[in-house]
Amino acid sequence: MRKTQLLNNEIGTVISQMGHTDSLAIGDCGLPIPMGVQRIDLALIKNLPRFIDTLKAVLLELQIEEVLIATETKEVSPSLFEEIKKEIGDTKITFISHEELKTSLKDCRAVIRTGEQTPYANIILKSGVVF
């Protein structure tokens, strides 16, 4: 059995296969996931699991060096944006449009779908290195 706190097999497998600058997305329940990109569907009911709880769990395991966030997140859901900043610390944030974020999903190793229903609760995490 895994010693780390992250128990989800699919997420753990994706993270263990990621290399430097590979990307992993976490999205709300309405985020369109492109065909051909692995979907890890955690959505159970409205707002379960929450986006921020999923982000916290992923960050237990994944070293990140940059995040991509839609400009609309900061504008439309400022309290969520503040929670994201708290969780990622001083990690570099690159702002792109929501349309650009959706287009960038095709380059992600996987997209984790949550039950979140807060507008623009989406992020792309760029893998860093631990050395």
CATH code at position 22: 3.40.1650.10
Alpha-carbon distance of 116 to 28, in angstroms, equals: 5
* Residue 2 placed within a domain: no
* Residue 45 placed within a domain: yes
pLDDT tens, position by position, 70-123:
999 999 999 999 999 999 999 999 999 999 999 999 999 999 999 999 999 999
Tell me the mean pLDDT in the region 58-64.
Answer: 96
Alpha-carbon distance of 35 to 81, in angstroms, equals: 28
* Residue 104 placed within a domain: yes
* Residue 102 placed within a domain: yes
* Residue 57 placed within a domain: yes
- Number of structural domains (the chain) is 1
Q: Which residue segment(s) compose the domain that 121 sits in?
A: 9-127
H-helix or E-strand containing 59? Answer: helix 51-59
Number of H helices and number of E strands within the chain?
5, 6
Residue-level pLDDT at 4: 81
| Position 1 pLDDT exceeds 60 | no
* Residue 4 placed within a domain: no
Q: Any idea how long the chain is?
A: 131
| Position 13 pLDDT exceeds 90 | yes
* Annotation says 20 is catalytic: yes
Alpha-carbon distance of 46 to 25, in angstroms, equals: 19
- Of 20, 39, 86, 106, catalytic: 20
* Residue 65 placed within a domain: yes
* Residue 3 placed within a domain: no
